[in-house]
Structure 1
């Protein structure tokens, strides 16, 4: 394997100058930099990542913790985050927390052990210990998709309540009369806010929402199917359905078909997220 000494000899500089170029730790003349970079390219030299990290006090690595990267929403989110990180010169370590506090904490400790420069996390129901450990190690972190109310960590989220309100208005515009909602766990802010926005829009036009017309299920395709089948069994006359996640909405579409109805004709349906599927 080619080392720093070989690069230095080829470029006619000292090994320290090679380090200055690869680490960016000292100023180097343009002519010298060109010679060193040419030697690196010619010899195929790869600087030691650990040494570079020590020199810069940075690893140019981010930790990304999501609930489930097989979910199309989180798959697309992870891909976009990775693209943005790569464009900025960073690599991404990905962990699937599976909404398990124990599993999430294990990944956070792995990120810390790998000395990541920062962490992006979609937190579960109880992520307090994870954020405590990140704060203790002074690792910058940001929450996305979900707000963790028990921490001052910055969050990047969509307008869940406003988006659900718009979705309900769209259903109302189709002259539907029997409305229902399928959402996730209502103890989660994301689910609660989407349900609230939908309910407010429905009530503003004088339509009362029956309690049994709001169902809470897993944010999965199976969860959407199961909730829709239960809904149509208790009230076959439902003709407008707001589903608080697209992956649930795909399951709801399957359930509508399985019940002998036509999606978009017998039952108007709208999901939330905007995934490609």
Structure 2
């Protein structure tokens, strides 16, 4: 391949090489709006290859209103759950012959808004959004006519489509499984109460305890960030208490891994001295020691549904899709005859 000059080739270069006008080159590159004869089209394509011209995607998006790209904003891409979900979303987007642009808001509301505006400037066709809190602000996208879909941290009052697992039912099922083991003194490492995922999972734990008529001991109810550090800090507080629970529901997988680290520090054996079950279920749970029982979210389903919602024409009604879950049972809460328990849905409160 030989270019006609140094630097990036332009449509003018292609037109000179093909012996056509710049407008004809544009018609070939954009697929219209005017027809081009087959012979001229072949000449233009050969000239594009010869001079090394690469169409400007942003300019094409401005002209056509379609960029071929979706945006994804996550609060922390180092979180294994968000990383695994991003992977499945990328696969679902690729299946539609589009690309996925990723932005990490680093749990910062200002950075989150900046990323959204940057994506909108690049004429993205839709936005997949996991907010830093339970008040996701995608109003700029709506005003720009860009369809948003909220994931994971879903505000049920928001007038935009969303896809998430049933956090209440999942936490209820996990806690009920601990109860079925015979544990009656069950604590929780809850997440930050400014997140719906955290409050919903706490509610699921509470309703399971109430359904079994088990007393909730306030000192075994700890709140921590959704992180390994948060889980370890909660574990250190827990293991310093005069009496320990028999089991703990850790609201998030990274919390559970931190809790395991604190247990090792204090010589607490899992599950002999303390049973643990958690929520999210990435590969990290499988490779912990001991492997951790967990509520598993159907990431492929979440991704497929979310991307299909983005692909709809504008004007469709808001959809709030709630996914099922499974319990993957491992040694952290005791012996099991099977490894997987089907989802338990429609759990009612007390």
Please say whether Structure 1 and Structure 2 have the same fold, judged by a TM-score greater than 0.5. yes
2:246 is matched with which residue?
Answer: 239
TM-score (normalizing by structure 1):
0.86
Alignment partner of 2:159: what SS?
coil
Between 1-10 and 93-102, report the one with greater CA deviation.
1-10
Whether 2:93 is the aligned partner of 1:82: answer no
Which one of 227, 234, 241 corresponds to residue 234 of structure 2? 227
Task: Specify every segment of 5 or more residues in structure 1 that has no aligned partner in the other structure, as ranges.
Answer: none
2:104 is matched with which residue?
Answer: 96
Which one of 41, 57, 68 corresponds to residue 60 of structure 1? 68
Equivalent runs, 1:204-223 vs 2, <5 Å: 204-223=211-230
- Report the alpha carbon displacement of residue 124 of structure 1 after superposing the two structures with TM: 2.8
Alignment partner of 2:279: what SS?
coil
Q: Answer yes or no: is the 8 Å Cα contact 2:134–2:194 preserved in 1.
A: no
Q: Answer yes or no: is the 8 Å Cα contact 1:25–1:56 preserved in 2.
A: no
CA distance in 1 between partners of 2:110 and 2:162 (Å): 22
Between 213-222 and 148-157, report the one with greater CA deviation.
148-157
CA distance in 1 between partners of 2:230 and 2:64 (Å): 47
2:266 is matched with which residue?
Answer: 259
Residue by residue over 1:84-127, the C-alpha shift from the partner in whole angstroms, topping out at 9 and shown as x without a partner, is 22332333332222333222222222222222222111123364
Residue by residue over 1:38-71, the C-alpha shift from the partner in whole angstroms, topping out at 9 and shown as x without a partner, is 7656765422213321332122222221111111
Whether 2:167 is the aligned partner of 1:165: answer no
TM-score (normalizing by structure 2):
0.69
Cα distance change, pair 188–127 in 1 and its aligned pair in 2 (3 A): closer
Q: Answer yes or no: is the 8 Å Cα contact 1:242–1:269 preserved in 2.
A: yes
Cα distance change, pair 35–201 in 1 and its aligned pair in 2 (3 A): farther
1:274 is matched with which residue?
Answer: 281
- Report the alpha carbon displacement of residue 28 of structure 1 after superposing the two structures with TM: 6.8
Cα distance change, pair 87–8 in 1 and its aligned pair in 2 (3 A): farther
Between 7-16 and 265-274, report the one with greater CA deviation.
7-16
RMSD: 2.7
Q: Answer yes or no: is the 8 Å Cα contact 1:25–1:55 preserved in 2.
A: no
Equivalent runs, 1:25-44 vs 2, <5 Å: 25-26=32-33, 44=52
Alignment partner of 1:222: what SS?
helix
Whether 2:168 is the aligned partner of 1:134: answer no
1:70 is matched with which residue?
Answer: 78
1:193 is matched with which residue?
Answer: 200
Moved over 4 A (4+): 1-18, 26-44
Alignment partner of 1:272: what SS?
strand
CA distance in 1 between partners of 2:186 and 2:135 (Å): 35
Task: Specify every segment of 5 or more residues in structure 2 that has no aligned partner in the other structure, as ranges.
Answer: 1-7, 285-350
Aligned length: 276
Cα distance change, pair 102–19 in 1 and its aligned pair in 2 (3 A): same
Greater relative CO (CA pairs within 8 A, separation 6+): 2
CA distance in 1 between partners of 2:42 and 2:178 (Å): 62
